[in-house]
Structure 1
Amino acid sequence: MVQFLTPPLDLSFAALADATRRGIVERLGRGDASITSLADQFQMTLTGMKKHVQVLERAGLVVTRKIGRVRKCALGKCDLSAEAEWIESCRKLFEARFDALDAIIDEMKQERRDE
C-alpha cells in the first residue's frame, strides 16, 4: 500500500539510521554549530552536510536558523519519547520470548537429567 504521509516515528528512525546523523545529534547535544563547522568536523562536503541536516530537520531532531551568512544548527524540540516507548515495547516482547525459550531449555535439561 502506498503511504502519502510518513509517520513521525518513521522519520525519526530513518534520520537516526545513519551513523553520521547520529553523530551530528550527539555533537549538537554539546552546543550549537554551523553547517560549515559540522562539515569540517565530519570531513564531508558542505552539500553532503546540508543533506544530512535536512533529514534531521524533517524529523524535528534539528532546527536551523540563518545568522548573517551562517546557518546555525541546534537540537530540535523532539524528545524522542514515542521512539523510546516503541523500543521499550519491543524490548519487553523480546524479553518475554527469551524467557519462554529459557523455560523450554530448562525443561529439556530436566528431562535429560530424569532419564
Structure 2
Amino acid sequence: MSTYRLDLAYDGTGFHGWAKQPAVRTIQGELESALRRRLGDVETVVAGRTDAGVHARGQVGSFTAEKDIQTERLAQSLNKTLAPEIVVWACRKVPEGFSARFSALHRSYRYRLLSRP
C-alpha cells in the first residue's frame, strides 16, 4: 500500500462541511466519490475538518491505495470530475505513515466576519 497527499482548495458555501454524512453534500463525500471511480474504495483523512459553509485555500488530505498512482494524472482527472467548487492543486506520493491529520506541523485559520450596523 502507498500513501498519497492531496493539496486542495474549496468554496464550502454549498456544502455541509468536510466530514461525509448521509444524504447531504460534503467535501469528503464528493472527493471520495471521485476517488472511488478511479481507485475503488478509498478513505480520506484531512488536516482539519471544516464546518458547513466554510472555505479552504490550502487544505491537506491523505489516503492510501493498493496500487501505484500516476499522481499528476490523478489530480487532473479529479479536477475534471469534481464539482467546480473543489480544486486539487497537487497529488504526490508520501512516506509510509504520513497522515494529513497527525503529520501536520502547522494549522492556520482566518475568520472573516461581515460587521454592519
Q: Which is strand-richer, 1 or 2? A: 2
| TM-score, scaled to structure 2 | 0.24
Structure with the greater relative contact order (CA < 8 A, sep ≥ 6): 1 or 2?
Answer: 2
Q: Which is helix-richer, 1 or 2? A: 1
Question: Which of structures 1 and 2 has the bigger CA Rg?
Answer: 1
| TM-score, scaled to structure 1 | 0.25
